[in-house]
Amino acid sequence: MSTRFTAQLRANRTAYLLLLPSLCVFALLLIVPLLMTMAGAFSEADAVGRIGRPGTLQNFVNLGSDSRLVPILRQTAIFALLSVAATIVICFPLALVLNQKFPGVTLARALLLLPWAAPLAISAMSWRWIFHDQLGALNYVLQLAGITDANIVWLSEPWLAFGCVIFVEVWSSIPFMTITILAGLQGIPPYIYDAARIDGASPWQEFWSMTVPQMKTVLVIVGLLSVIWAFRSFTIIWTMTQGNPFFRTDISVTYLYKLAFRMMSFGEGYALAFVTFVMLAAFSVLYLMLARDREPGA
């Protein structure tokens, strides 16, 4: 094994040398903070986040006694599941339309990517102004159309604010998921539809018997990847609401930030970061397994 590895290393020496700077940056920016977070979760930490004596579970005990933890974990799960489900429901029909041949389809596919090209923080800030209760465009349009008579406090009412951040999460996820599903649709062999038409299948039967089974793995993979992204959707929530009102729009990543940098409870913040990491790692492993099974010859 070592001889084989050494031979490969010598044969690809230039490639490994070119990769070395990127690997060093990756280790510095990702691996080192991750290891420090894992160490901090099982160690004492002072008010400024310095890691002290290791080998303790007190951080997890303190985190478990936090009365806000269970509601926030529940909000995280609801946020991820609702946003991913809504995105799939919207993107699958949209991808089916974009998979057809009609005048302007190339332009439509290009325009679909525009929201994804904008920085997420700028998009979230724009939506925050749209949902503003006094100056927002949404209240103005609703009153102009005669739908409402008074301003709606979109980001101050807990359930409305939570719905708004889910809406923006869905809106920001549509371009990537639609293009990914479209790529899956274009990978379906055309001959299976030709055979179905010869057998007299209707378009609805083609969809349920041909398209859906062929796309099942793609939808699961895209859904898992979207769940991972939703769990770490810090930018949208922090830009729009900062978890307000009363922690009702917080998810795990925004709450651990508050624990560490606002409440100065770095030990509990480390512990929650570790719990979040374990959940995301489980989804990531499942995603990689499904993606590998889909590869030809795997």
Does a structural domain hold residue 24?
no
Give the model's pLDDT for residue 2. Answer: 62
Name the amino acid, one letter, at 172: S
Helices 69-98 + 105-112 axis angle, to 10? 160
Does a structural domain hold residue 35?
no
From 83, 84, 73, select the one nearest 220 (Cα to Cα): 84
How much is the average pLDDT of 222-230? 88
Task: Write the pLDDT tens digit of every residue in 128-155.
Answer: 999 999 999 999 999 999 999 889 999 9
Task: Write the pLDDT tens digit of every residue in 115-124.
Answer: 788 889 999 9
Does a structural domain hold residue 33?
no
Does a structural domain hold residue 94?
yes
Does a structural domain hold residue 136?
yes
How do 51-54 and 43-45 pair as beta strands?
A: antiparallel
Q: How far apart are CA 189 and CA 179, in angstroms?
A: 18
- CATH number for the domain spanning 191: value is 1.10.3720.10
Residues near 239 by Cβ (< 8 Å), separated by ≥ 6?
Answer: 121, 124, 125, 128
Dihedral pair phi/psi, residue 52, rounded to 5°: -110, -130
Cis-peptide into 245, omega within 30 deg: yes
CA atoms within 13 A on the CB side of 76: 24
The tokens describing 66, both together, are: 């936090």
Task: Write the pLDDT tens digit of every residue in 256-272.
Answer: 999 999 999 999 999 99
Q: How far apart are CA 95 and CA 185, in angstroms?
A: 8
Does a structural domain hold residue 152?
yes
Does a structural domain hold residue 255?
yes
Give the model's pLDDT for residue 137. Answer: 95
Does a structural domain hold residue 39?
no
The DSSP 8-state label assigned to residue 213 in this structure reads H
Q: How many domains does the chain have?
A: 1
Residues near 289 by Cβ (< 8 Å), separated by ≥ 6?
Answer: none
Show the domain range for 128: 73-294
